[in-house]
Chain A
Amino acid sequence: MSVDTATVKRVAKLARIAIRDEEAERLAPELGNILGWIEQLGEVDTSSVQPMTAVIPNHLRLRDDVVTDGGIRAKVLANAPEGEHGFFTVPKVIE
């Protein structure tokens, strides 16, 4: 399995991780090696197998539809890198 640098850059863009050209060049063979190794899974016949969805049989619980939390704005914002007037702030997204 060979992965080219264009693929690395495309995947990095999807993952929202900035990478430099030399990093993409270093990562391409590394990822190619790992993906080549995991491709051996293709040889397992799984035509009659359902994919696992729960590792231990369990059921989804329902709870009463009531408010159980809230009123903790200061706590929610306490670790924000930047906040103003009780909001998270980010660079301008609308011109």
Chain B
Amino acid sequence: MSDLTDLGIRQIRDGVANGDLSAREVAEAFNAAVAAAKPLNAFIVETPEHALAAADKVDQARAAGETLPSMAGVPIGMKDLFCTNGVQTTAASHILEGFKPEYESTVSQKLWDAGAGMLGKLNLDQFAMGSSNETSYFGNVVSPWRRNDGGNAPLAPGGSSGGSAAVVAGRIAPGATGTDTGGSIRQPAAFVGISGIKPTYGRCSRWGTIAFASSLDQAGPMARDVRDCAIMLEAMSGFDAKDATSLDVPVPQWEAGLNASMAGKRVGIPREYRVDNMPEEIEALWQQGIAWMKDAGAEIVEVSLPHTRYALPAYYIIAPAEASSNLARYDGVRYGQRDLPEAANLQDMYAATRAAGFGDEVKRRILIGTYVLSAGFYDAYFTQASKVRALIAQDFERAWERCDVLLTPTAPSAAFALGEKSADPLAMYLNDVFTVPSSLAGLPAMSVPGGLDKAGLPLGLQVIGRALDEQGVLNAALAIEERAGFNARPERWW
């Protein structure tokens, strides 16, 4: 055995189950990798004792001859948007600094029930609002990747699940949870050369996940390959009576159903995803992806999603509107920080608490959301955006008459340098152009690595599927993965 941290979820699970590995040695190896990774700033809290306790439980269960659950012995990173009992949960904000939930989110509980352990709470964009992990109160996450120009410019790991992306790519965790509201699993996965899937809206319970935009938020796994994502998604999914939008449908056995043959499948190429100023390398990768799909036996069809260009503006009404409502709960009364200026009344206390507790991007979105929901503007903005959202969903419905999955690039560029886009909020928002439409329609979508650009940075391809057809998405992604043979990894500099 070379290095235990080179192992993925399936290898660890199988190795522990058949006795080649002890869960404890795996947990110790990853705990050490976490401790050595401080320069990436990927963790807000490290929890080595949690990982060891879970591992010991698995080792004891195996010694007692018990059947091990599906993620037994796999230590993972937990995005700090999931409430974890007794462990600080901040959403990378100051306003929740010190908040230790008295309860466990459904998704994290399911993972612990499946035998996984927690390495720590992962840094993210504050309240998951961002595409570069530069809005965290606890500082930027630095991507493990560097350009091959020798410049060593620190790169963005993508966002908002930037810590999750960095640790999986850096072999600091075999898998991590992410959440995706407009692309926050897929874009960071693409930026660091790993896989990540956002399932159908309602597959994973939102209970105990700190809310950003409730009609869009979905949890999902980020891991090194498609199979590992399938394993982890199975563990995370399932009906939960505590979430009113949770889907009461069985969780398929996605891992067992993996099949890389695309024979008889039609892959749609949406012509509206050919955007202005798209780098040639992205276009070239897309063409390569199409060739891989053909090679796997698929028929390629061109489709039209005519309202694509309105997806981003609709998203930047709906998501901030929901955020302004969701984040009204941070009032300095029930939990989190309180700022009480001298002689302040209750209203002053709310305003001071929120001014001190929220970062600039969070304030910007709350203000946009408050504006579009305010008297006189509601119909022109929010109602119109909800109607456009219906049209976007309808575009996809029409596309499914002609194809089974859609293939697109994940992001319009490779990872950019930290600081490169943070001065212009609008330029940052445009980074989500390919991921937002499927979020608005609640569809399952996955990013899988396709290759490297000239600077030696990963580029991702996105597969979008019908509602509840995660299997079709995983299978198409697997067909790409097998043909791309992507095995590049960042050279360790930290």
Q: Does A67 contact B (CB under 8 A)?
A: no
Q: Does B350 contact A (CB under 8 A)?
A: yes
Partner of A18, one of B354, B371, B429: B354
The residues in A between 42 and 84 inclusive whose CB is less than 8 angstroms from any CB of B are 42, 44, 46, 49-56, 58, 60-61, 63, 72, 75-76, 78-82
Q: State the majority secondary structure of interface residues on B.
A: helix
Q: Hey, which chain A residues are within 8 Å of B358, CB to CB?
A: 17
Distance (whole angstroms) from the CB of B327 to the closest CB of chain A: 9
Say yes or no: A16 contacts B335, CB within 8 Å. no
The residues in B between 300 and 359 inclusive whose CB is less than 8 angstroms from any CB of A are 307, 310, 313-314, 316-317, 324, 328, 331-338, 340, 344-352, 354-355, 358
Q: How far is the CA of A46 from the CA of B334 in the complex (A)?
A: 42
Partner of B346, one of A11, A78, A91: A91
Distance (whole angstroms) from the CB of A60 to the closest CB of chain B: 7
Partner of B388, one of A7, A46, A79: A46
Q: Mark B233-258, 1 if CB is under 8 A from A, else 0.
A: 00000000100110110000000000
Given A31-B367, A58-B247, A82-B338 contact (CB < 8 Å): yes
Partner of B390, one of A49, A78, A81, A88: A49
Say yes or no: A61 contacts B367, CB within 8 Å. no
Q: Mark B372-406, 1 if CB is under 8 A from A, else 0.
A: 10100000110111111111010000000000000
- The residue in A14, A37, A52 that gathers the most chain B C-beta atoms within 10 A of its C-beta is A52
Say yes or no: B340 contacts A91, CB within 8 Å. yes
Q: Hey, which chain B residues are within 8 Å of A35, CB to CB?
A: 368, 371
Q: Hey, which chain B residues are within 8 Å of A46, CB to CB?
A: 384, 387-388, 391
Q: Does A33 contact B (CB under 8 A)?
A: yes
Q: Does B102 contact A (CB under 8 A)?
A: yes
Q: Does B109 contact A (CB under 8 A)?
A: no
Partner of A51, one of B371, B383, B429: B383
Distance (whole angstroms) from the CB of B127 to the closest CB of chain A: 14
Q: How far is the CA of A6 from the CA of B242 in the complex (A)?
A: 42
Partner of A11, one of B101, B201, B316, B370: B370
Binding site for A on B (CB under 8 A): 98-103, 200-202, 215-216, 241, 244-245, 247-248, 307, 310, 313-314, 316-317, 324, 328, 331-338, 340, 344-352, 354-355, 358, 363-364, 366-368, 370-372, 374, 380-381, 383-391, 393, 425-426, 429, 440-442, 467
Binding site for B on A (CB under 8 A): 7-8, 11-19, 27, 30-31, 33-35, 37-42, 44, 46, 49-56, 58, 60-61, 63, 72, 75-76, 78-82, 88, 90-93
Shortest beta-carbon contacts, A-B, top 3: A51-B386, A55-B442, A81-B338
- What are 19 pairs between A and B in contact, CB < 8 Å? A11-B371, A13-B351, A17-B351, A17-B366, A18-B352, A18-B355, A31-B368, A39-B313, A41-B381, A42-B384, A44-B384, A44-B391, A50-B387, A52-B389, A56-B247, A88-B334, A91-B344, A91-B345, A91-B346
Apart from A17-B355, A37-B426, A58-B247, list 8 A-B contacts with CB within 8 A.
A11-B367, A15-B324, A16-B351, A19-B355, A38-B313, A50-B390, A56-B467, A81-B338
